[in-house]
């Protein structure tokens, strides 16, 4: 199946050098990867949400955390997406609730005012 079922994750502008092409993927009807080989569309962002008193969620998407092709995070989530693995989504109420080992940088946006 993986010789037939290939997936292309194309750059938003369609630039081949910034795309991940011909990736092997498993799947079929009734799976997370239902597209037969050669599909031009299909499942991308995957999100599972537990809507309990405290919301919990897990996700994965093709690509990476960065839109910069020179960044190590440009396509670092592709293996996870291909394997159908999910990562926890954080829902902090304040910056202090973010785990220090999961925080690479902080950006504070302050409105200028009227």
Given a contact cutoff of 8 angstroms between Cβ atoms, the answer to whether 34 and 42 are in contact is: yes
pLDDT of residue 40: 60
**9 beta partners:** 20
Q: 13-26 pLDDT, tens per residue?
A: 878 888 888 887 77
Among residues 86, 83, 44, 41, which one has the least CA distance to residue 62?
A: 44
* Residue 98 or residue 58, greater confidence: 58
Q: What is the predicted pLDDT for the residue at 56?
A: 93
Helix (H, G, I), strand (E, B) or coil at 6: strand
Residues 43 and 25: beta-carbon distance below 8 Å: no
Q: What is the pTM of this model?
A: 0.70
Identify which has the larger pLDDT, 54 or 43. 54
Secondary structure (3-state) at 58: strand
**pLDDT tens figures, 75-95:** 999 899 888 899 999 888 887
**What DSSP assignment string belongs to 13-52?**
T--GGGSEEEEE----TTSS--PPTT-SS----EEEEE-S
């Amino acid at each position: 199946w993986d010789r037939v079922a290939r997936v292309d994750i194309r750059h938003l502008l369609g630039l081949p050098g910034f795309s991940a092409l011909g990736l092997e993927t498993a799947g079929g009807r009734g799976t997370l990867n239902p597209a037969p080989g050669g599909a031009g569309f299909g499942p991308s962002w995957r999100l599972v949400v537990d809507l309990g008193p405290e919301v919990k969620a897990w996700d994965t998407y093709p690509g990476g955390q960065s839109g910069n092709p020179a960044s190590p995070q440009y396509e670092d989530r592709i293996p996870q997406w291909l394997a159908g693995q999910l990562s926890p989504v954080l829902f902090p109420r304040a910056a202090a609730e973010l785990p220090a080992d999961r925080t690479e940088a902080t950006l504070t946006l302050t409105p200028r005012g009227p």
